[in-house]
Amino acid sequence: MALDRKPAPNDLNAFWMPFTSNRQFKQSPRMFVAAKDMHYTTSDGRQVLDGTAGLWCCNAGHCRPKITEAIQKQAAELDYAPAFQMGHPIAFELANRIIDIAPKGMEHVFYTNSGSESVETALKIAIAYHRARGEGTRTRLIGRERGYHGVNFGGISVGGIVNNRKFFGTLLAGVDHLPHTHIPQNAFAKGQPEHGANLADDLERIVALHGAETIAAVIVEPMAGSTGVLLPPKGYLEKLRAITKKHGILLIFDEVITGFGRLGSAFAAQHFDVLPDMMTTAKGLTNGVIPMGAVITTGEVHDAFMTGPDHMIELFHGYTYSGNPIAAAAGVATLETYKEEGLFERANDLAPYWEQALHSLKGTRNVIDIRNMGLIGAVELEPIAGQPTKRAFSAFLKAYEKGILIRTTGDIIAMSPPLIISKAEIDRLIGTLKEVLDTLE
Ligand SMILES: Cc1ncc(COP(=O)(O)O)c(C=O)c1O
């Protein structure tokens, strides 16, 4: 029977929140009402230090004037223009600026609205690329255990986080998974771990099983973020590149988190000096302010489609909001902010300090591993027996009470502060986290 009641404007019931324990949240809500630079303001007037750049996306910090003004100006000038068979200048300008900072060899940009859509787009381009070149049997896709590639069907199929997959049916057919790279020998490694490059050799097994001529692409996060910050062992990405190349398989780096400075370079591909065939991005592209994503491809991938009569559409794919003018304006202003303030270099310079601060937590109660790279880090906790995720979630709640925002996945605490963080703020973030961990069950 329908309820005979209209929700009050501030009723929390109607909004079904994403990736949230809705019932717990609605019993004791945590609301942000404003943000500036490194801090959020809560509805009860407290300042919370942002240890996660929102959701790994506000790399330049919050409410940066240049980005705000660019959005306001663009909204008043050209609010929307179709991107199918029509153009508007700022989308082209942003694409050129992205290519400017992308690794050499990356030449084209296809716009989406999110990381998930970037992943779907890249997977589709990969399959269509092979078909365009007369290799239409190459349809299989290979992801990796514990990988996170967003929440759409392609992404959860190649992804490897069990709870993101197991409730949603049969997923895409023709998908295999490489093993993840988290191995005990690397516990408490600082930066890139020594052991495990050989895990990439599993790709040869999959190729032998199916035949290279059936495989379109391998997609991996160069550094796996959402699953709890798993780093690629030294030599691992190089091996993946060599094996994919040898077998004519495209390599896609999902740089939705690692893109735009997180590791101290514009992209992880530059940090690791490994060139994939495509990169998926979103988040930091607009500083998280407006939804936008982009797939960046080599000239070779793009050019394979540029055949047939000129009036024909080359790729039957795109979104109503691909290259939306306001998002593109936010993107241009964001990239300018990164450049003017030298934020990628800043992340690189701060990385050793961050590493030291993070690893000072070694020996703290229940801490069983610490991982770091660039301005990203994870502290893994021993789960409470029979109650996985509970200890880390308690840490998250206590941390919020004490004025720091952290993120948890399973029993792992992940942090990825805006690249404008100061050393004093790093000390506060890590110091407060230690206090929280010391008081936990
Ligand atoms: C590597 C990676 N790919 C894809 C996504 C999905 O992005 P979105 O939430 O914008 O769809 C994420 C989000 O965290 C991500 O980390």
CATH of the domain at 284: 3.40.640.10
Do both 242 and 359 map to the same domain? no
Percent of the chain with pLDDT over 70: 99
Instruction: Write out pLDDT tens, residues 108-151.
Output: 999 999 999 999 999 999 999 999 999 999 999 999 999 999 99
Do both 319 and 353 map to the same domain? no
The answer to whether position 4 is within a domain reads no
The span from the CA of 363 to the CA of 368, in Å, is 8
Do both 329 and 370 map to the same domain? no
The answer to whether position 114 is within a domain reads yes
Strands 367-373 and 407-409, bridge-based pairing: unpaired
Instruction: Write out pLDDT tens, residues 355-393.
Output: 999 999 999 999 999 999 999 999 999 999 999 999 999
What is the number of structural domains in the chain?
A: 2
Phi-psi region of 318 (alpha: psi -120 to 50; beta: other; left: phi over 0): left
Do both 371 and 388 map to the same domain? yes
- To the question of pTM greater than 0.95 for the whole model, the response is yes
Averaged pLDDT, 155-177: 97
The answer to whether position 197 is within a domain reads yes
Among 340, 361, 395, give the residue marking a domain's end: 340
Among 274, 305, 340, give the residue marking a domain's end: 340
The span from the CA of 418 to the CA of 261, in Å, is 10
Instruction: Write out pLDDT tens, residues 277-307.
Output: 999 999 999 999 999 999 999 999 999 999 9
Do both 304 and 371 map to the same domain? no
Do both 87 and 111 map to the same domain? yes
Note the Cα 284 to chain centre separation in Å: 9
Do both 236 and 248 map to the same domain? yes
The residue behind tokens 């009402």 is 33
Q: Where are the alpha helices (DSSP H) in 176-324?
A: 202-210, 236-246, 268-272, 299-303
Residue pair 272/137 in contact by the 8 Å Cβ criterion: no
Ligand 1 centroid vs 8 CA: distance in angstroms?
Answer: 33
Ligand 1 centroid vs 91 CA: distance in angstroms?
Answer: 22
Do both 289 and 382 map to the same domain? no
Find the angle CA(347)-CA(234)-CA(351) to the nearest 5 degrees.
15
Q: What is the pLDDT of residue 10?
A: 83
The answer to whether position 5 is within a domain reads no
Q: Is 256 exposed, middle or buried (0-12, 13-18, 19+ CB in 10 A)?
A: buried
Residue pair 143/313 in contact by the 8 Å Cβ criterion: no
Residue pair 195/336 in contact by the 8 Å Cβ criterion: no
Q: From residue 55, give the alpha-carbon distance in Å to each of 22, 283, 418.
A: 18, 8, 10
Do both 310 and 351 map to the same domain? no
Averaged pLDDT, 306-321: 97
Ligand 1 centroid vs 1 CA: distance in angstroms?
Answer: 38
Averaged pLDDT, 74-86: 97
Instruction: Print the domain residue range for 380.
Output: 22-60+342-439
Instruction: Write out pLDDT tens, residues 222-278.
Output: 999 999 999 999 999 999 999 999 999 999 999 999 999 999 999 999 999 999 999
Find the angle CA(422)-CA(425)-CA(426) to the nearest 5 degrees.
90
The span from the CA of 392 to the CA of 283, in Å, is 24
The answer to whether position 8 is within a domain reads no
Strands 376-381 and 367-373, bridge-based pairing: antiparallel
Residue pair 432/403 in contact by the 8 Å Cβ criterion: yes
Do both 349 and 289 map to the same domain? no
What CATH number did the domain enclosing 388 receive?
A: 3.90.1150.10
Among 301, 317, 340, give the residue marking a domain's end: 340
Ligand 1 centroid vs 256 CA: distance in angstroms?
Answer: 6
Looking at the CA of residue 282, tell me the nearest atom of ligand 1: 10
Closest CA to 225 of 354, 374, 335, 365: 374
Q: List the 293-298 sheet strands across, edge first.
A: 106-112, 293-298, 278-281, 250-254, 215-220, 140-144, 175-178
Residue type, 298: T
Q: What is the pLDDT of residue 9?
A: 74
Do both 311 and 424 map to the same domain? no
The answer to whether position 359 is within a domain reads yes
Q: Count other C-beta atoms under 10 Å from residue 304's C-beta.
A: 19
Phi-psi region of 422 (alpha: psi -120 to 50; beta: other; left: phi over 0): beta
Ligand 1 centroid vs 171 CA: distance in angstroms?
Answer: 18
Query: Pocket around ligand 1: residues whose beta carbon is below 6 Å from it?
Result: 114-116, 119, 148-150, 221, 225-226, 254, 256-257, 282
Do both 113 and 152 map to the same domain? yes
Looking at the CA of residue 225, tell me the nearest atom of ligand 1: 16
Looking at the CA of residue 150, tell me the nearest atom of ligand 1: 6
List phi, psi (to 5°) of 387: -135, 65
Q: Which helix (H) or strand (E) holds 404?
A: strand 404-405
Q: What is the pLDDT of residue 19?
A: 97
The answer to whether position 1 is within a domain reads no
The answer to whether position 16 is within a domain reads no
The span from the CA of 56 to the CA of 257, in Å, is 6
Instruction: Write out pLDDT tens, residues 397-407.
Output: 999 999 999 99
